[in-house]
Structure 1
């Protein structure tokens, strides 16, 4: 009979139990507290910054230049920071892209919201070619959609990097007389 063999076995069982408990704790934290949630993008306001309408009778051409100021905010509901790369926000009218603006790379701290004030020039030739534009303008409401896709990384526990791609599609209407955003509905999709 060896002396101390029971003691070594107890130490080995205690170390194994501690390692299993730590692994279980990390898994539970990763699936609950640190579970990656989608960033929430909201269109706060849309303002008409510039509007120029010109008529070239010789060429039978309408020249329209519209610039919108779009204020969006991105909320990071995660318990860790979210670092994202350059992205693009698209503005669509009835399924057709009529404008885009770059969203510069950055970082959003945990449980924080970052505001973006974007200046968006509308591709007016695409807007003018839509036959429903006149009826929407006369009704006083312009239905629009924004689509923002942000990809980046979330660091969990300081050393685990999780790649996150979050896209947000928001349907909303702009009241032409008040220029206010109404009836905003957003759909979120996140891929880890």
Structure 2
């Protein structure tokens, strides 16, 4: 049988253990709450944004010859894109892609090189999209009509994947997307109008 002293010692040990566990919990709870607040505020991932700063047309205006219908094309869109990183951490993006579409069909593309955008920073990217004549053959009649009507509508789609890294180990993947409708005036051969919308997936 246990003596009174042994029982008192056992009770004292249990009390000490409870005090220690309680002390640890009291220390961990504030740390947990602080980490939660930071995760929901300071370290909450925000979507990087793509903005079209300017669009210009380069090349030679299309020439259409009759009576045998023949069209010569040399159209290049020069785009200046601004990527904004709204996070308090760097955004490293991989190889992106920018596409040129006419009436929903891809007629040109270019790769966007990987890069690093600092916290709360931004960077400019230049994209030079050239119309590939062989890819527009099925829509040549529509293109001729648009040129004769004085306006050709093109669409650009840009996709840039990357990730935001907090404290060196908290990583959030993000894909920034942008789609722009660009109207090119003929025979002035200038951008008449541009409308863009952006979308980001975290």
Structure 2 length normalisation: TM-score?
0.77
- Report the equivalent of 1:113: 122
Higher fraction of helix: 2
Which residue, 62, 66, 78 being the options, matches 2:87?
78
Task: Rate the CA distance shift 1:179–1:168 in 2: closer, same or farther, 3 A.
Answer: same
Which residue, 4, 23, 27 being the options, matches 1:18?
27
- Report the equivalent of 1:186: 197
Q: What is the CA–CA distance in structure 2 between the aligned matches of 1:100 and 1:46, rounded to whole Å?
A: 16
Q: Which runs of 5+ in 2 are unaligned?
A: 1-7
8 Å CA contact 2:182, 2:191 repeated in 1: no
Q: How does 1:24-39 map to 2 (within 5 A)?
A: 24-39=33-48
Displacement of 1:108 after TM fit?
Answer: 0.8
**Bigger shift: residues 38-47 or 22-31:** 22-31
Q: Which has the larger radius of gyration?
A: 2
State yes or no: 1:162 paired with 2:200. Answer: no
- Report the equivalent of 1:145: 155
Task: Rate the CA distance shift 1:48–1:74 in 2: closer, same or farther, 3 A.
Answer: same
Q: What is the CA–CA distance in structure 2 between the aligned matches of 1:156 and 1:29, rounded to whole Å?
A: 11
Structure 1 length normalisation: TM-score?
0.80
**Bigger shift: residues 84-93 or 30-39:** 30-39
Task: Rate the CA distance shift 1:100–1:140 in 2: closer, same or farther, 3 A.
Answer: same
Q: What is the CA–CA distance in structure 1 between the aligned matches of 2:149 and 2:23, rounded to whole Å?
A: 74
C-alpha root-mean-square deviation of aligned residues, in Å? 3.0
Q: Which runs of 5+ in 1 are unaligned?
A: none
| 1:50-86 Cα distance to aligned partner (Å, 9 max, x none) | 22757899x9754422222211111111221110111
Task: Rate the CA distance shift 1:128–1:48 in 2: closer, same or farther, 3 A.
Answer: farther
Number of equivalenced pairs: 190
